[in-house]
Structure 1
Amino acid sequence: MSFVSPEFALLCLLFFPLYWQLVDRPKLQRALLLLSGYGLYATWSLTFAGVLFAYSVGIWLLGAWVSRHAKERLPTVLALVLCVSFLVYFKYYEFLRASLSDGLVHLGFQTSLPLMDLVTPVGVSFFTFQAVTYLVMAAQQPGQVRVLPDVLLFLCFWPSLFAGPIERAEKFFAQLDAGTTGRPLEVSLALYWIVLGAAQKLIFATWLGDTFVDPVFKYPEQQGGLTLLAAMVGYSLQIALDFGGYTLIVTGLARLLGYELPVNFRQPYLARNLQDFWTRWHVSLSSFIRDYIYIPMGGNRLGFNRTQCNVMLGMLISGVWHGPNWTFVVWGLLHGLGVVGLNFYRQARGPVLPAWLAHTLTLLFVTVAWVFFRADTLTGALNLLQGLWHNAHGFWHADFGQVVLLAVFTGVFLVLCRHAVDLQTRVVARIQSMSPWRVTPVMAVLIYLVIALGPSGVPGFIYYRF
């Protein structure tokens, strides 16, 4: 069930009053939250819910085992391998099988590796990485190992279940232990995030996808170069508004439940280099890779050259994590090469670029890399990029009215990014100054406008794929 569907909105109207009524009975309230998580997951697939429950029990058992052998390295390594093997099996088996078979055929070997009819559970990439944080916590802090209901709740906490942000086990359980959960936190801010996120997704991301992105990426050979360029820019904006909007919605919903989720976006398109970009974009993933992969591999402690290898591997994993397709591999490698190139540039003491030029070059690099993220195949991505210069229709074959509209939208978007924090502060303060009887109709009107200006159906979020 999508978080922007009418059915979900109706369930929220029924669920939240009951949930808040149980604030003085925390065990019963957490049981309701646990059941709601599995209930929402079961709307996608009852089998998925069963798989998630079995996986969560397995993680709980592995955590207990690891905590009893915390001074030994092997149990932790085995537990992590088993944990990640679940993700590899469901999400990457067919990709690995096909790639290996093709490689063997090119070497002259005829082979037929077994086929498996697997359906990837929704959100598997996210809750697997969350499980990793629990096992690491159990190994490093054996006294913090949790009872089964706590682990079940952590891995099926529905605001972050389907597409993140990736929550850390120690931070989630610290909130439980502090006794601050269950009561809504900063309601005005939560409402602002939910309405803004819904507008970003339903109005703007959907418009960008339908108008500029989807038709062009489907038939790039039929488009002029300017139209292809508009599609590239359009997708850069679409994915930011789509995923950023999703994060705002679920972060706001978590606040209404009494929980804080990690920050996932810090205006990434204001970045002045790729390192800066990755401290702003999908922060819960980039910080996970830094803390659980990059630093354990040595980080920057083993010399400059080894550091660059670690950076490349970390960015490659970031790409592969998104999906079983060579397009994601190339996307991750491009960002890895970009960050490594930046490090070599600094090592050579290259001149500091003007802020406007650094910002422009970063946006250009990110926009080109997004082509591989969006395209279905490497061939499709390369054809689109090649079509910018070599196209039968010519570069200027385009709907200039739409191109100008996109250029204006892009400019307004970047300006709003620069003033987003100030705007949020002002709007939230305004909401707080209003009495509840005034806030309710205002929010109802805003939500109605978002629905009215949005698509007729229920669009899926881009990151539901991962």
Structure 2
Amino acid sequence: MSFVSPEFVLFCLFFFPLYWSLAEHPRVQRSLLIISGYGLYATWVPAFAAILAVYSTVVWALGRWMRHALSPRLPLLLGLWLAGSFLLSLKYYEFVRETFQVVLQNTGFVSLLPVLDVVAPVGVSFFTFQAVTYLVMVGRQPASARSWPDVMLFLSFWPTLFAGPILRADNFFGQLDDSGVTRRVGRPRRAWLALYLIALGLVQKVVLASWLSSQVVDPVYRLPDQYASVSLAAAMLGFSLQIFLDFAGYTLIVTGLGLLLGFRLPVNFRQPYLARNLSDFWTRWHVSLSSFIRDYIYIPMGGNRRGWGRTQLNVLSGMLISGLWHGANWTFVVWGLLHGLGVVVMNGAQRAGMPVWPRWAAQALTFLFVSLAWVFFRADSVPQALQMLQGLWHSPSGFWQSDQLPWGGLLTITGLVFGLSPWALVWERFAVAGLGRLGAGRAGLLLALVLCAVIYFGPEGVPNFIYYRF
């Protein structure tokens, strides 16, 4: 069930009043959260819920083993191996099989790896990484192992189950255990902010990102040879805006839902297109993933502790893993490699004494690089991505055809994103304070009007979130 579907709205109308009414009964309330999480997950494929339950039980059992073992090292390594094997076998087996088959055909041999018709559960990359944070937490502090219901709740927490942000076990359970006077788990936290974030996320995803997808991006990527160079550049710009508005919009929605449940979710976006270099970009884009790779992959590999050259190799490895995490396709490998090489080149230039660029120039160059790299992320194959890039200076349809794309809408959305991004937090504080001053009745009417506008200007049907497939 998508978070922008009418069915989900109906679910929320029944769920939240019942959930809040159980605030004085935490165990019952948490049971309701678990049941609702598995129920929502089962609406995709019922078997997914069964897989998640078994997976969560194994993770819990490994935590118990670490708590009572003389040394947690063996169960920790076994758990990390199982989590990695689970993810790799579901998402990457067919990719590896096809790659081996192509390589062996060129040498005259035939691959003997069997074809496996397996569909990876929705959000498997996200809950696998969350399981890793739990296993590492218990491995470091065996006494922190949680009960079976707690682990079930952590891995099935439905605001983040489908597409993140990636929760850290210590942060999640810290909120769950907070019994102080400021404890808000189980009750709505900053309700006006939550509703503002949900409304803004709906506008970003359902209206703006969906319009960019249907009117600018998808037509060009479907038939790139029929569009002029300028139109290809417009589609690249459009996808840069689309993926940001889509994923950041999703994050706003689930952050608002988390606040209504009483949980603070990790910040996942910090206006990434204002970044002045690629390292800065990755502290702003999909922060829960980039920080996970830093803390659980880059630093354990040695981080920056083994010399400059080894540091760059670790950076490149981390970015390649980031690319592969997004999907089993060479397009994601190239995308991750481009970002890794970009960071390495930038580090080398800074080491050689490159002067600091003006802010506007640094931001423009960073955005240009990110947008060109996004071509591989969006394309169905590496040849299609190369065709798009080649068409920028040599398109069969020429350089300019001004009437092919809705330039007015594209430029308006571009102006909104870049014009409002520097003032996002200021506008957020202003809007939340304004809703509070309006009072419940008028603020509710205003939010209802926003919802009606989203329905009116949004596409027919239920639009999918880009990151649901990861």
User: Taking structure 1 as reference, are residues 67 and 458 closer, same or farther at Cα in structure 2, changes over 3 Å only?
Assistant: same
| Amino acid of the structure 1 residue aligned with 2:187 | R
Q: 2:392 aligns with which of 384, 388, 395?
A: 388
**Residue deviations 1:158-178, cap 9 Å, x none?**
000000000000100001110
Check whether the contact 2:188–2:259 (CA below 8 A) recurs between aligned residues.
yes
Counterpart of 1:194 in structure 2 is 198
SS in 2 for 1:425: helix
* Offset of residue 401 of structure 1: 6.9
Counterpart of 2:282 in structure 1 is 278
Counterpart of 1:299 in structure 2 is 303
Check whether the contact 2:37–2:158 (CA below 8 A) recurs between aligned residues.
yes
Check whether the contact 1:319–1:332 (CA below 8 A) recurs between aligned residues.
yes
* Offset of residue 404 of structure 1: 4.6
Residues 254-403 of structure 1: pairs in structure 2 closer than 5 A: 254-399=258-403, 402-403=406-407
SS in 2 for 1:435: helix
Structure 1 distance, partners of 2:124, 2:404, is 42
**Residue deviations 1:82-118, cap 9 Å, x none?**
1111111111111111111211222221233111110
Structure 1 distance, partners of 2:263, 2:225, is 48
Q: 2:431 aligns with which of 411, 427, 432?
A: 427
User: Taking structure 1 as reference, are residues 450 and 100 closer, same or farther at Cα in structure 2, changes over 3 Å only?
Assistant: same
SS in 2 for 1:419: helix
| Amino acid of the structure 2 residue aligned with 1:67 | R
Structure 1 distance, partners of 2:70, 2:234, is 54
**Residue deviations 1:114-160, cap 9 Å, x none?**
11110110000000000000000010011110010000000000000
Q: 2:227 aligns with which of 206, 214, 223?
A: 223
Structure 2 distance, partners of 1:14, 1:72, is 43
Structure 2 distance, partners of 1:70, 1:83, is 22
Counterpart of 1:63 in structure 2 is 63
149-158 or 425-434, which moves further after superposition?
425-434
| Amino acid of the structure 2 residue aligned with 1:202 | V
* Offset of residue 400 of structure 1: 6.9
Counterpart of 2:24 in structure 1 is 24
Structure 2 distance, partners of 1:377, 1:400, is 24
Structure 1 distance, partners of 2:7, 2:404, is 39
Counterpart of 1:84 in structure 2 is 84
User: Taking structure 1 as reference, are residues 348 and 98 closer, same or farther at Cα in structure 2, changes over 3 Å only?
Assistant: same
Structure 2 distance, partners of 1:124, 1:341, is 33
Structure 2 distance, partners of 1:293, 1:80, is 12
Check whether the contact 1:334–1:369 (CA below 8 A) recurs between aligned residues.
yes
Aligned residues: 466
Counterpart of 2:115 in structure 1 is 115
| Amino acid of the structure 2 residue aligned with 1:42 | A
* Offset of residue 438 of structure 1: 2.0
Check whether the contact 2:201–2:252 (CA below 8 A) recurs between aligned residues.
yes
Asked if 1:153 corresponds to 2:157, the answer is: no
**Residue deviations 1:412-466, cap 9 Å, x none?**
3101001111000100001112221222222111111111111111000000010
Counterpart of 1:128 in structure 2 is 128
Asked if 1:250 corresponds to 2:257, the answer is: no
Gap regions ≥5 residues in structure 1: none
Counterpart of 2:75 in structure 1 is 75
* Offset of residue 24 of structure 1: 0.4
User: Taking structure 1 as reference, are residues 403 and 441 closer, same or farther at Cα in structure 2, changes over 3 Å only?
Assistant: closer
Q: 2:447 aligns with which of 433, 443, 454?
A: 443
* Offset of residue 398 of structure 1: 3.5
**Residue deviations 1:41-62, cap 9 Å, x none?**
0000100000010111011111
Counterpart of 2:177 in structure 1 is 177
% identical aligned pairs: 59
Structure 2 distance, partners of 1:244, 1:45, is 26
Structure 2 distance, partners of 1:197, 1:309, is 37
Structure 2 distance, partners of 1:72, 1:167, is 22
Structure 1 distance, partners of 2:305, 2:230, is 46
Structure 2 distance, partners of 1:14, 1:172, is 25
* Offset of residue 353 of structure 1: 1.1
Counterpart of 1:211 in structure 2 is 215
**Residue deviations 1:15-65, cap 9 Å, x none?**
100000000011000000100000000000100000010111011111222
* Offset of residue 397 of structure 1: 2.2
SS in 2 for 1:434: helix
* Offset of residue 222 of structure 1: 1.1
Scaled by the length of structure 2, what TM-score is found? 0.97
User: Taking structure 1 as reference, are residues 349 and 68 closer, same or farther at Cα in structure 2, changes over 3 Å only?
Assistant: farther
Check whether the contact 1:70–1:139 (CA below 8 A) recurs between aligned residues.
no
Counterpart of 1:455 in structure 2 is 459
Gap regions ≥5 residues in structure 2: none
* Offset of residue 197 of structure 1: 0.1
Asked if 1:414 corresponds to 2:437, the answer is: no
Task: Name segments (4+ residues, structure 1) moved above 6 Å.
Answer: none
User: Taking structure 1 as reference, are residues 392 and 294 closer, same or farther at Cα in structure 2, changes over 3 Å only?
Assistant: same
SS in 2 for 1:116: coil
